[in-house]
């Protein structure tokens, strides 16, 4: 259960600083342990690279929290945090944090990120500058979400509004910054949740020309078990066509149309961006990151824009349209899915 906000501010945020100091003090020992552990893991110097990344992340989180504290004081102890000037300063913190983390992660793990996007025609260039967008992305773990938000902020100069799981507020830096900006934290539940729909409608209705509402229609990361459960739920609701289309998808859960359609209705002038990506989709838990984080690989993303005028009308037509796009994304992922890393090498004891 997520602790109250006051507990998170008074306990989790200071705890992060304590961890940072502890890691810095014990860094020589941690380096030795990482060097010893690296030969047992796939890839070259995996543990040492992970230690380097973790140290940078802790330092950035600590600096971001310090900057947020300074902004809180400068805003009159929170009185002006919702003003345009302080909103922009918090977006600046996000841009800075994610830009540095992106550069460090790509260099430390020697990753190449390739983004396929529509040709930059005059119409496309104008739309990127002046039209709000609803971003519908596959749900594939924190790594891919990080790349998506980084690109929205730093590549496309957008102000993302994100619908996230409430549990992410255990991260002190994300908790503080995201709650000061127009975002929504939701607790996943089965079926249509009125509270979640209302949060999406509120965020969508306030989109400006550079706004980008980010929604993950699947509602959860893909696993074979979740895929089976999702298909069974569709069958129990007698949604025969949707269940058949869900069975045809290999890499995605069937989309839950409620949130996406609510956003489209609340922001009728917004274009819809569909996002596909692959390369970090299997990194869900800390154990996944430790054993399977890709190194020296290419991560690929692709996005498509659907102008507001081309979005079909009516819930049934929009649901079918959403499934059409999800099938297209599933096919794209199948064509660009990276080869899995080899299993960790096992050392055999020497004969004596």
Q: Encode 250-272: b = buried (16+ Cβ within 10 Å), e = exposed.
A: ebbbbbbbbbbbbbbebbeebbb
End-to-end CA distance of the chain: 53
Q: What percent of the chain has pLDDT over 90?
A: 69
Spatial CA neighbour of 272 closest among 261, 287, 285: 261
Cα dihedral 251, 255, 259, 262 sign: positive
314 has a pLDDT exceeding 60: yes
pLDDT at 341: 44
Q: Which among 84, 92, 88, 87 has a CA at the least distance from the CA of 63?
A: 92
- DSSP H or E stretch at residue 59: helix 46-74
- Rounded Cα gap, residues 98 and 77, in angstroms: 26
Confidence at 67, pLDDT banded by 50, 70, 90: very high
Instruction: Give the residue extent of every domain in the chain.
Output: 80-336
> Taking the domain 80-336, which CATH number applies?
3.40.1130
CB-count burial class (<10 Å; 0-12, 13-18, 19+) for 283: buried
Position 344 scores a pLDDT of: 46
pLDDT value for 12: 93
State the average pLDDT over residues 130-151: 89
- Give residues with Cβ within 8 angstroms of 187, minimum separation 6: 165, 166
For residue 275, give the H/E element and its range. Answer: strand 271-278
Tell me the two tokens of residue 158: 């957008």
Q: Supply the pLDDT for residue 289.
A: 56
- Model confidence at 125: pLDDT above 80: yes
Q: What is the DSSP letter of 344?
A: P
Assess whether pLDDT exceeds 80 at residue 66: yes
Q: What is the pLDDT of residue 129?
A: 85
Count CB neighbours of 225 within 10 A. 8
pLDDT for 195: 84
Averaged pLDDT for residues 267-293:
74
Beta-sheet strand order (sheet of 133-137): 112-116, 298-306, 271-278, 133-137, 211-215, 159-165, 184-186
pLDDT confidence of residue 340: 47
Task: Flag whether pLDDT at 352 surpasses 70.
Answer: no
Contact by Cβ (8 Å): 139, 278? no
Q: Does pLDDT of 247 surpass 50?
A: yes
pTM above threshold 0.85? yes
CA neighbor of 40 nearest in space, from 287, 346, 348, 295 = 346
Give how far the C-alpha of residue 67 lies from the chain's centroid of Cα atoms, to the nearest Å. 23
pLDDT at 291: 55
Q: How many other β-carbons are positioned within 10 Å of the β-carbon of residue 349?
A: 5
Tokens representing 244 are: 């058949």
Q: Using CA of residue 139, residue 167, residue 199, residue 95, what is the dihedral sign?
A: negative
Q: What is the pLDDT of residue 338?
A: 62
What pLDDT digit, counting tens, does each position of 74-100 carry? 999 999 999 999 999 999 999 999 999
- 179-194 pLDDT per residue, tens: 999 999 987 665 457 8
Mean pLDDT of 166-178: 94
Going by pLDDT thresholds of 50, 70 and 90, the confidence category of residue 348 is very low
Pairing of strands 271-278, 211-215: unpaired
Q: What is the pLDDT, as a whole number, of residue 87?
A: 97
């Amino acid at each position: 259960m997520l602790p109250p906000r006051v507990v998170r501010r008074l306990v989790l945020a200071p705890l992060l600083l304590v961890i940072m100091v502890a890691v810095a003090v014990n860094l020589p020992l941690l380096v030795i342990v990482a060097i010893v552990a690296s030969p047992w893991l796939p890839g070259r110097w995996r543990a040492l690279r992970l230690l380097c990344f973790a140290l940078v992340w802790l330092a950035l989180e600590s600096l971001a929290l310090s900057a947020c504290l300074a902004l809180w004081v400068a805003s009159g102890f929170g009185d002006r945090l919702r003003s345009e000037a302080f909103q922009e300063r918090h977006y600046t913190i996000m841009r800075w944090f994610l830009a540095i983390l992106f550069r460090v992660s790509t260099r430390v793990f020697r990753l190449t990120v390739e983004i396929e996007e529509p040709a930059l025609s005059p119409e496309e260039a104008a739309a990127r500058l002046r039209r709000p967008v609803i971003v519908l992305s596959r749900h594939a773990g924190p790594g891919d979400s990080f790349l998506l938000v980084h690109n929205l902020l730093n590549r496309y100069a957008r102000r993302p509004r994100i619908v996230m799981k409430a549990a992410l507020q255990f991260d002190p830096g994300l908790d503080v910054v995201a709650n000061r900006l127009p975002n929504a934290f939701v607790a996943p539940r089965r079926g249509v949740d009125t509270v979640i729909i209302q949060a999406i409608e509120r965020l969508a209705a306030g989109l400006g020309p550079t706004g980008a509402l980010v929604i993950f229609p699947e509602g959860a990361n893909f696993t074979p078990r979740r895929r089976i459960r999702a298909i069974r739920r569709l069958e129990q609701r007698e949604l025969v066509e949707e269940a058949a289309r869900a069975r045809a998808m290999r890499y995605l859960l069937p989309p839950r149309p409620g949130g996406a359609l609510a956003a489209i209705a609340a922001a009728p002038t917004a274009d819809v961006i569909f996002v596909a990506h692959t390369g970090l989709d299997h990194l869900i838990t800390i154990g996944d990151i430790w054993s399977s984080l890709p190194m020296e690989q290419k991560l690929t993303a692709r996005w498509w824009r659907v102008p507001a005028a081309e979005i079909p009308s009516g819930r049934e037509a929009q649901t079918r349209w959403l499934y059409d796009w999800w099938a297209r994304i599933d096919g794209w992922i199948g064509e660009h899915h990276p080869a899995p890393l080899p299993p960790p090498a096992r050392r055999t004891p020497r004969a004596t």
